[in-house]
Structure 1
Amino acid sequence: MDNSPSVLDPPEQVWHTRWNRRLAGQIAVLLLANVLADTVIVTPMLVLPQILGHFHTDQAAWISSSAMLAGAMLAPLFGKSADIHGKRRMLVVALLVACAGGLICLLAPTLWLFVLGRLVQGAAVAGVFLTVAIVRDLCTPRVAMTAVGAVTTGAGVLSVVVNVSVEQLVAQSGFRVVFLVSASLAVIAVVLVRSLVPEPATRTAGRVDIAGAVLFGGGVTALLAYISFVPDLGWSGPGALALLGAGVAALAGWFRTARRVPEPVIDVRNLGRPLVLTLLVVVLGTGAVQCMDQLLSVIAQVSPDQRLGYGFDARGSLSLLFGIPAIGIMAGGLISGWVAARFDPSAALAAGVVTGTVGAVGMFSGASSFHGAIAFAVLLNLCLGTLLVSGFNMAAVLAPPERQGVTASLVTVMSATGSVVMSFVGAAVLAATDVVVDGTVVNSATGVHGYIGVSVGVFAVAVVLAFFLVARRRQF
């Protein structure tokens, strides 16, 4: 008996063949779902020092990256479930789960309950690729290229308004208001998605590999915990080695499972070289970009009067520091969609990582200048928008219709994993180079510049891989 997945007989699908009012309305609704992801990932960076102070901890990486980590772990489950049960249905589920996470963070009395809430909020990250999959099911391929750019990166403009408003609310009500706003947006998005966005017709028969997802997620989490706690446990301490061994064993078990089960959560057997190169560029490039948000959140509130060799005291202007560069995400997404529709997504991907490399190098000077930080952050966000949209478009070009959901989820897995790994590595670099000034432990200039140097090195590798991908695509 043939147990391979098959495409279910769907009702007739009516595609958008051009931009129109109805498509614009649907894009706007899906865009709101992605604004929610922005309030989960970026907006808490505005209040990261307040959160660290409230819970008396220095575990910035866990607070800033736990939602992204959970998003990476949940994405394959949501992707496979979306292909089987419906993309709109799973988007609604993701939004409701993210709402619950926001409420946990709002009420959490302890740090680790707060981190649990951040992990639950990570479902919003999985929602991003679901909006992409829905768009590709509602539009013809040519229209979808630019529509994907609009729905994934248009949140950059709206986030400026949201972050300015949230910063003012935080000044009046404290940092927890960030999570009240996030939960409220999730409820609004659920109502609008159910009312205005149709359920795409394409479905696939099959089942979800929950065991594989648990092994993959547990393995990555254990390795990140190893990186995070090395400054306290030591590289070869018993606790650190236990985390390292557990992570390696879980990932090895996942890999063996993925090669044996008929429908693994991540099908390593069907990853062609172009898709592998695409995913590597995405994981390296997005990680190198997004870890800068964590760094900027820390150094932006350091006064130049402290003479640490970095810092520009942007308190009161944090919404501008994070909001204005976010416009670059939208610009990068729209430009890369245009390039992909006329040439190839690989060309946009290569241009994106080159732009990001310039932005990362510029951060050596931007670490001490508010205006410089904004300018180079715009380039980094331009790169991020390009990478996300080009990654989704490349995955869509390389995947059949019945596997769009799970393939798009791989892009989310890679972007989230890259962000989390780089954030933990950067936090470890900062922790290892702390200095004591006037009896207070602070980050050193060596640590800050080393953090930026790691990002530049990762970008350099991504550039090489991106040009390999372009060369391979030109052969066909």
Structure 2
Amino acid sequence: MVSPSLGAPTAGAPDQRWTPRLVISLASIVLMLEMLSISYIMIATALPSISKHYQTTQGAWLLTAFLLFGAMVAPLLGKLADLHGKRLVLLIAVFGAALGSLISAVAPSYGVLIVGRALTGFLVPCLFLSYSLIRDVFPPKTIALAVSIATSGMGLIAIPAPFITGWLVDGFGFRAIFWFALIALVVLGTLIRLTTPESPVRQQARLDIIGAVLLGAGIAGVLVGVSFGPTWGWAAASTLTYLIGGIILIGAWLVSASVLKEPLVDIKVLRQRSVAFTVTAAGCIYGVSGLYTMLLPMLVMTPAMLGLGYGFGTTAEGTAIFQAPLGLFTVLGGVIVGVLVGRANAKPRMMMAAGAVSAGIGCTLTAFSHDSKGLIILFGAFVGLGMGLGYAAVPNLLIEAVPPQLQASTASIAGVFQSIFPAILPVIAFAVMNNSYIAVFPPEVAQMLQGAVMYTSDGYKVAYLIAAATAVLCLVCALALPSRIKQLKVSGDEIVEADDLGEPEVPAYA
């Protein structure tokens, strides 16, 4: 049974404004979430060193394991948050991610490192757990800005992260990035515990264990099949087993969710146009981000002497001049959404559309011109702005559409999409790029490359166009959202739209 909130948020009185404790709370949450975003940067930058140390060609597992585990546990943690408290589950996830960082830092083998990276995937559900918690305990007038900043960051770590990563990798080795993450997560988890109140909002229901197993295993099957299809072969028995098995399990979950009275995620909520297009748009914008940020270090670290029409031979630390502007404009996009939605009553769907356009333009321009440092930085700014606008629009859209009691479990599906798209897009892009790699180099160049694969300029062009096409899909989803979103309401055992209850429709943060 779905019940109303057990009480009003302790920090939600209309007359409350920003206080020192509230600022520290938000800063702690933001910095913790920035650990999620810089995880991509750190791994992409350290990947050559990691692959060389462990003598492996399976570097893709470092990202796949992270996203796979995060997507698997997201629905379960979302439901647990609605049942037992969002801060409690958030802190458990932070602890799990810290444990994963510790295992990664001391990993004696590549297999152990993968286990550590998988556990670090607990950071993935931290995203929706954080803005769901903010929605419950922050003063209403601060919510739009707070969730926008939380999802796009303040740049306190994200902007200097490329410099920090390069310094750590070049000066202390790849293990230093995991020690850095461990220390940061422990400190930030402690600050969140001390400064952020627990949400009083609860959903009275039983935990759907069967649904959690079916959905988690189904997502895992699809992601593994898609991630390793290019390696195993798309027609290989192993690939088809994972793909078909995953699809069957997800189908079984949909059936069980339609039948059970208290499912893991209410299908009626997901069928709503405002929710379905929001989670799809979220997956698209995060997919663009994941692919773009993975390609960027590879592009600029390629030696210029190869004459491939791209590449500047930068060091790990040198990639910072390309990545820092990306982070800066991501922050700027988030602030723009927070200010316009919170104070000017701008529509989050239009912010999402603007983000898709900006990211699409940046990816397209990069596809056709990636041989100039200045232009790559400029185009990256377009992509970063689009990322920030899109990141910040997602929670604001879900806050408008979904009641507090169902916020975390519904947002968990957005978290799943935000993991699946960044996992699938690189597979598609590299499947194309692997048909355009340079197989033969002069002996002296081949010795310098030590077996590293170099792609043609056209290969990168197609990869960036794939990112641009995904941004177009994000735009389509944003424009397909209702111009006037009706928030679902809980009435006894039923979930109904706001107008069905005869209540005025206002944004949750108004």
Q: CA deviation at 1:337?
A: 1.9
8 Å contact kept, 1:357–1:460: yes
Residues 69-88 of structure 1: matches in 2 within 5 Å?
69-88=68-87
1:456 aligns with 2:459: no
Which residue does the alignment assign to 1:445?
457
Aligned mates of 1:413, 1:225 — CA distance in 2: 14
Aligned mates of 1:142, 1:363 — CA distance in 2: 39
Change in CA separation of 1:90 and 1:125 when aligned onto 2, cut-off 3 Å:
same
Which residue does the alignment assign to 1:469?
481
User: Secondary structure, in 3 states, of the residue corresponding to 2:66?
Assistant: helix
Which residue does the alignment assign to 1:130?
129
Residues 5-24 of structure 1: matches in 2 within 5 Å?
5-7=2-4, 9-10=6-7, 13-15=10-12, 17-24=16-23
Aligned mates of 1:12, 1:390 — CA distance in 2: 23
Aligned mates of 1:453, 1:14 — CA distance in 2: 45
Which residue does the alignment assign to 2:490?
none
User: Secondary structure, in 3 states, of the residue corresponding to 2:439?
Assistant: strand
Aligned mates of 2:359, 2:161 — CA distance in 1: 25
Residues 30-429 of structure 1: matches in 2 within 5 Å?
30-271=29-270, 272-315=272-315, 316-341=317-342, 342-365=345-368, 367-429=370-432
Deviations 1:208-234 (A, max 9, x none): 323323322322332232233333332
8 Å contact kept, 2:98–2:182: yes
Deviations 1:62-102 (A, max 9, x none): 21343233222222222111111111111110110001100
Identity value in percent = 28
Which residue does the alignment assign to 1:28?
27
Q: CA deviation at 1:205?
A: 1.6
Taking structure 2 as the reference length, what is the TM-score of the superposition? Answer: 0.87
Residue ranges of structure 2 left out of the alignment (5+ in a row): 487-504, 506-510
* Residue type at the aligned position of 1:328: F
Structure 1 stretch displaced more, 194-203 or 136-145: 136-145
Aligned mates of 1:446, 1:58 — CA distance in 2: 23
* Residue type at the aligned position of 2:339: W
State the aligned residue count.
472
More helix by share: 1
8 Å contact kept, 1:157–1:330: no
Aligned mates of 2:135, 2:224 — CA distance in 1: 36
Which residue does the alignment assign to 2:508?
none
* Residue type at the aligned position of 1:332: G
Change in CA separation of 1:389 and 1:177 when aligned onto 2, cut-off 3 Å:
same
Change in CA separation of 1:312 and 1:80 when aligned onto 2, cut-off 3 Å:
same
Change in CA separation of 1:73 and 1:369 when aligned onto 2, cut-off 3 Å:
farther
8 Å contact kept, 1:149–1:337: yes
User: Secondary structure, in 3 states, of the residue corresponding to 1:313?
Assistant: coil
Aligned mates of 1:326, 1:276 — CA distance in 2: 28
Change in CA separation of 1:59 and 1:309 when aligned onto 2, cut-off 3 Å:
farther
Change in CA separation of 1:210 and 1:321 when aligned onto 2, cut-off 3 Å:
farther
Change in CA separation of 1:432 and 1:105 when aligned onto 2, cut-off 3 Å:
farther
Change in CA separation of 1:75 and 1:25 when aligned onto 2, cut-off 3 Å:
same
User: Secondary structure, in 3 states, of the residue corresponding to 1:185?
Assistant: helix
Change in CA separation of 1:432 and 1:226 when aligned onto 2, cut-off 3 Å:
farther
Aligned mates of 2:174, 2:30 — CA distance in 1: 25
8 Å contact kept, 1:226–1:244: yes
Aligned mates of 2:224, 2:405 — CA distance in 1: 35
Aligned mates of 1:41, 1:93 — CA distance in 2: 22
Q: CA deviation at 1:472?
A: 6.3
Deviations 1:232-269 (A, max 9, x none): 33221222222222222222222222222223223222
Aligned mates of 1:457, 1:35 — CA distance in 2: 26
Deviations 1:274-301 (A, max 9, x none): 2111112111222122211111122221
Change in CA separation of 1:317 and 1:142 when aligned onto 2, cut-off 3 Å:
same
1:435 aligns with 2:438: yes
Change in CA separation of 1:244 and 1:453 when aligned onto 2, cut-off 3 Å:
same
User: Secondary structure, in 3 states, of the residue corresponding to 1:42?
Assistant: helix
Aligned mates of 1:428, 1:178 — CA distance in 2: 29
Aligned mates of 1:9, 1:149 — CA distance in 2: 26
Aligned mates of 1:374, 1:263 — CA distance in 2: 49
Change in CA separation of 1:261 and 1:432 when aligned onto 2, cut-off 3 Å:
farther
Aligned mates of 2:202, 2:391 — CA distance in 1: 24
User: Secondary structure, in 3 states, of the residue corresponding to 1:311?
Assistant: coil
Aligned mates of 1:461, 1:162 — CA distance in 2: 30
8 Å contact kept, 2:367–2:462: no
In the TM superposition, structure 1's runs of 4+ consecutive aligned residues that sit over 6 Å from their partners are none
Aligned mates of 2:437, 2:90 — CA distance in 1: 42
Structure 1 stretch displaced more, 284-293 or 202-211: 202-211
Structure 1 stretch displaced more, 233-242 or 274-283: 233-242
* Residue type at the aligned position of 1:446: D
Change in CA separation of 1:149 and 1:53 when aligned onto 2, cut-off 3 Å:
same
User: Secondary structure, in 3 states, of the residue corresponding to 2:265?
Assistant: coil
Residue ranges of structure 1 left out of the alignment (5+ in a row): none
* Residue type at the aligned position of 1:374: I
Aligned mates of 1:99, 1:320 — CA distance in 2: 28
Change in CA separation of 1:194 and 1:471 when aligned onto 2, cut-off 3 Å:
closer
Aligned mates of 2:478, 2:88 — CA distance in 1: 35
Structure 1 stretch displaced more, 269-278 or 68-77: 68-77
Change in CA separation of 1:67 and 1:89 when aligned onto 2, cut-off 3 Å:
same
Structure 1 stretch displaced more, 415-424 or 462-471: 462-471
8 Å contact kept, 2:21–2:195: no
